[in-house]
Structure 1
Amino acid sequence: MSLHYPFTEIPAAGEQREVAPGIFWLRMPLPFQLDHINLWLLRDGEGWTIVDTGFPDDGVRATWRSILDRLDGPVKRLIVTHFHPDHLGLATWLMEQTGAPLAMTSAEFLTAHAVWNEVGGHGAQYMVEQFRRHGLDADRLDKFASRGSGYRRAVPGLPAHYQRLKAGEPVTIDGQAWKILIGYGHSPEHLALYCAKLGVLISGDMLLPKISTNISVFAATPDADALRWYLESLTVMAEEIPPQTLVLPSHGLPFTGVQARVGALHAHHEERLHALENSCEQAPQSAAGLLDVLFGRALDTHQTMFAMGEAIAHLNYLEQAGRLSREIGDDGVIRYSRLSIQSAAH
């Protein structure tokens, strides 16, 4: 089954587009190359549940005010899929505006606080050292050091309490049972919501129709096999979700065809892995030295941050799968070499 897009007209600012019974699509702008995020407003009895919050921008706040003013009941709950700023950025503000509690997974809540406070291996100083070890040049390292992580600017405040959501537990919204599905690789404990009766999956960033979500390795977990975790999460999702399910992604258009999209993502990443293997055939290569192989275009500082994390994720996958070997040079830089068939057999 190929992908099908049942809703091709994008909601205007402040518009609530119903895509399934009691489920409304909102679209908010982002100040990045990826210029939008989809948010979801769910009827919940006499009130409403919001899934994800948007980026903290005055225009987005104004749009939210116009939406909240038109609602015919209270906001009962904010559910956030993961800690990234476009999803969590306005959570504290919306809690203040509505009085609604925040619900999310434990790892996402705690990671948000670690990143915000730059502790536990999270923060610009740790990222700079990680990228140095993976071969990034001094000029770009200096830009990261002076820029900082940027998370506090993108998430102005964090709540001190939340309702914990756990894998497999049902969440009841408007009398319907939604199952919590957890995905790994894009963030520590990314939450998706699946309602079998409505035939709807709110996929967050785990499953997008056109682009591959960023899979990064962070300084706090330098040996993480994040790409394998992500691909395994997709496989589980494809096995559990029926093909006709309407997928509501955080970016791009709603679609059906989970299995086709998961298959395409597996193929995309395997093609990238082969390209990296081939590039490490003749001489050892660092993650920074392989950015052109993965991306093939000029990258600004913001894009380089994601690109380095993704390159390391692919290289960790190959090294832990026995397809590349890793060595640390006298300069302290980690480089990777392709294993010959003979050496791999040993």
Structure 2
Amino acid sequence: MLPDYPFATPPAAGETFEVAPGIHWLRMPLPFALNHINLWLLEDDDGWTIVDTGFALDTVKDCWRQILDRLSTTPCGGHISRIIVTHFHPDHLGLAAWLQDETGAPVYMTLGEYLTAHAVWHEVGGHGNQPMLRQFRAHGLDADRRAALERRSGGYNRGVPTLPTAYQRLFDGDELRIGAHRWRVRVGFGHSPEHAALYSPDLGVLIAGDMLLPKISTNISVFAVTPMADSLADFLDSIDRYRELPPETLVLPSHGLPFHGIENRVDALHAHHEERLLLLEEACATPHSAAELLITLFPRDLDTHQTMFAMGEAIAHLNRLEHAGRLQRIEDDRGLIRFVSKQGAARPPGKDQGG
């Protein structure tokens, strides 16, 4: 089934729109080039389940207040029974603790997402800005762009000003009963440690979070704490599992419009990433660092926020090629990492661009 979009217009901020029985779509603003996130309200037996919470902005809080006020006048009432967070990124987790305080509802997350949120927030265990800057320096990012990233230190905490200090753990395969319908937890990898998507076989609906987006590709990065990770393989393996779902499944993504056509989208993402892998493989006939290859993957100007994601993604693709035996990693005595094809491995490296 080719992708199709049954709903052409998203709800305005602070409004809701029912996309399937008991499933209501919310859209909240983000302060980035990607300027929105989709959130979901599910009718429950004794009120509502929230799926994802939005970035911690005053405007988003105001939208939530409007929505919570309106819910109190609905047949389900205004009680929030639980808050499910798909993963730790700030546009998803940002207001979970605030909503928990406002409503008294428990937060549900996977262990990997909950603990990673705390590690990133407190910058411990290899997480945080300084480990990232050291990683990017090793992969050739120049001093000016590293300084710009350093000035953005604390960005995660601005998006997630407070964290839940208690949660209910989600496991892959868990079945939740929300209202009259079953929802199964499907844990995926590559984009975040243990991303929880939700599938209802009763409704034929997949709340995909960031694992399956209709037009843009999910960011797949390698982080300083796991420098040799094959995140791209983890992601592609995870989305391949969606092929087993019925072709008429309605996919509710975190960005973009709801759509049908899972298999076509999974095929398109495989083709997209293989094309990028081929571009990098060809460019590495001579040794190149991830920073030198940004222009190959992203032939446009990147702001500082985009540079952070682009570096993580470049490293992820280069690691995939290394794991597949298509490229070889070279590290010089200054710690600068470059990648080269087997045929080009004997050639001398180019001039250091690392700064």
Q: Please tell me the TM-score bracket, short chain as reference.
A: over 0.9
Q: Distance in 2 between matches of 1:209 and 1:85?
A: 21
Q: Which amino acid aligns with 1:338?
A: S
Of 190, 209, 225, 2:230 maps to 225
SS in 1 for 2:39: strand
Q: Distance in 1 between matches of 2:271 and 2:203?
A: 30
SS in 1 for 2:207: strand
Give the TM-score normalised by structure 2. 0.94
Indicate whether 1:15 and 2:20 are aligned: no
Indicate whether 1:305 and 2:308 are aligned: yes
Q: Which amino acid aligns with 1:292?
A: I
| Post-superposition CA distance 1:180-237 (Å, at most 9, x none) | 0011000000000000110000000000001001000000000000000000001112
Indicate whether 1:94 and 2:99 are aligned: yes
Q: Distance in 1 between matches of 2:152 and 2:28?
A: 25
1:220 to 1:341, Cα distance in 2 relative to 1, 3 A: closer
| Post-superposition CA distance 1:129-159 (Å, at most 9, x none) | 0000000001111222232141111100001
Q: Give runs of aligned pairs for residues 152-163 of structure 1, distance below 5 A.
A: 152-163=157-168
Q: Which moved more, 1:144-153 or 1:247-256?
A: 144-153
Counterpart residue number, 2:320: 317
Indicate whether 1:177 and 2:196 are aligned: no
Q: Distance in 2 between matches of 1:251 and 1:201?
A: 14
Indicate whether 1:43 and 2:54 are aligned: no
Indicate whether 1:326 and 2:329 are aligned: yes
Counterpart residue number, 1:84: 89
Report the alpha carbon displacement of residue 341 of structure 1 after superposing the two structures with TM. Answer: 11
Q: Distance in 1 between matches of 2:14 and 2:135?
A: 41
Q: Distance in 2 between matches of 1:199 and 1:341?
A: 50
Indicate whether 1:205 and 2:210 are aligned: yes
Query: Are the equivalent residues in 1 in contact too, given 2:68–2:78 (CA < 8 A)?
Result: no
Identity of counterpart residues, as a percentage?
65
Report the alpha carbon displacement of residue 46 of structure 1 after superposing the two structures with TM. Answer: 2.8
Counterpart residue number, 1:116: 121
Query: Are the equivalent residues in 1 in contact too, given 2:328–2:341 (CA < 8 A)?
Result: yes
Indicate whether 1:273 and 2:277 are aligned: yes
Q: Which amino acid aligns with 2:342?
A: L
Q: Distance in 1 between matches of 2:242 and 2:341?
A: 32
Indicate whether 1:139 and 2:172 are aligned: no
Q: Which amino acid aligns with 1:268?
A: H
Report the alpha carbon displacement of residue 48 of structure 1 after superposing the two structures with TM. Answer: 0.3
Indicate whether 1:105 and 2:130 are aligned: no
Of 235, 243, 247, 1:243 maps to 247
Give the TM-score normalised by structure 1. 0.97
Unaligned runs of 5+ in 1: none
Q: Which amino acid aligns with 2:304?
A: T
SS in 2 for 1:55: coil
Counterpart residue number, 1:53: 53
SS in 2 for 1:63: helix
Q: Distance in 1 between matches of 2:329 and 2:220?
A: 20
Report the alpha carbon displacement of residue 339 of structure 1 after superposing the two structures with TM. Answer: 1.8
Q: Distance in 2 between matches of 1:224 and 1:147?
A: 25
| Post-superposition CA distance 1:42-89 (Å, at most 9, x none) | 000130000000011111111100100111230000000000000000
Indicate whether 1:127 and 2:127 are aligned: no
Counterpart residue number, 2:74: none
Report the alpha carbon displacement of residue 342 of structure 1 after superposing the two structures with TM. Answer: 12
SS in 1 for 2:165: coil
Report the alpha carbon displacement of residue 250 of structure 1 after superposing the two structures with TM. Answer: 0.2
Counterpart residue number, 2:6: 6
Q: Distance in 2 between matches of 1:295 and 1:219?
A: 21
Counterpart residue number, 2:265: 261
Counterpart residue number, 1:186: 191
Over aligned residues, Cα RMSD in angstroms? 1.3
Q: Distance in 2 between matches of 1:316 and 1:285?
A: 13
Report the alpha carbon displacement of residue 175 of structure 1 after superposing the two structures with TM. Answer: 2.7
SS in 1 for 2:278: helix
SS in 1 for 2:214: coil
